A and B are shown apart, each in its own frame.
Chain A
């Protein structure tokens, strides 16, 4: 199993541009999570899906952020328009059950820099 695959690994973009982060969860995992990690706030849950349906998006900072999971093998996190304060490492993780009560597998993360 290739694990959770995220792309790109690094993204540098100018303020105001649209950014799309991609994630392929482990096959058979029912839950998918998007996290953001910054020095100031640590690891924060943005949104999680169970069986492709968004369950909890209370961590999505504002309307500029949106996430989709069109099928069980793919999810995107989009920021439009991007701002410098969005600079962070974004992790995708998947879990075999509902929620995270069956353990996580994390992707390698996408380091986003908005200049």
Chain B
């Protein structure tokens, strides 16, 4: 059983669509991270949150601590958003989901 589960594993969307990626975790964490990995392989930290909601440009991340669930939303999706999005929890230990591969088609 994975401590962090992401859904969907793969997602294809048309440019302009609203996208949601979900992350559920089963362990206690201090913070939840959303990472973005582009086809070139580099990893960028998008968000780190422990409660509520954060917004950066067209990206919004939310977390519900009681339900142990987080979502990453992308508004007005664009082909450059195509990447693998990885959810992870940190605290006493570190756990990562296997990623959601997003492809946005023009």
Contact = CB atoms under 8 A, between A and B. Distances in A.
A100 B99 contact: no
Contacts, number: 56
Nearest to A9: B41
Interface string A23-48: 00000000001000000001111001
Contacts of B91: 99, 101
A42 B43 contact: no
B94 A45 contact: yes
Nearest to A48: B94
A108 interface: yes
Nearest to B40: A108
B50 A103 contact: no
Nearest to B98: A42
Given A42-B99, A104-B45, A99 B90 contact: yes
A104 to B, nearest CB: 4
B30 to A, nearest CB: 5
Contacts of A103: 33, 45, 48
A106 B90 contact: no
A104 B33 contact: yes
Interface in A70-115: 89, 91, 93, 99-106, 108-109, 111
Contacts of A42: 86, 96-99
Contacts of A58: 93
Contacts of A14: none
Given A42-B96, A42-B99, A43-B96, A100 B43 contact: no
Contacts of A108: 41-42
Contacts of A111: 41
Nearest to B50: A101
A113 B93 CA distance: 28
B99 A99 contact: no
A56 interface: yes
A43 B86 contact: yes
Interface of A: 33, 42-45, 48, 56, 58-59, 89, 91, 93, 99-106, 108-109, 111
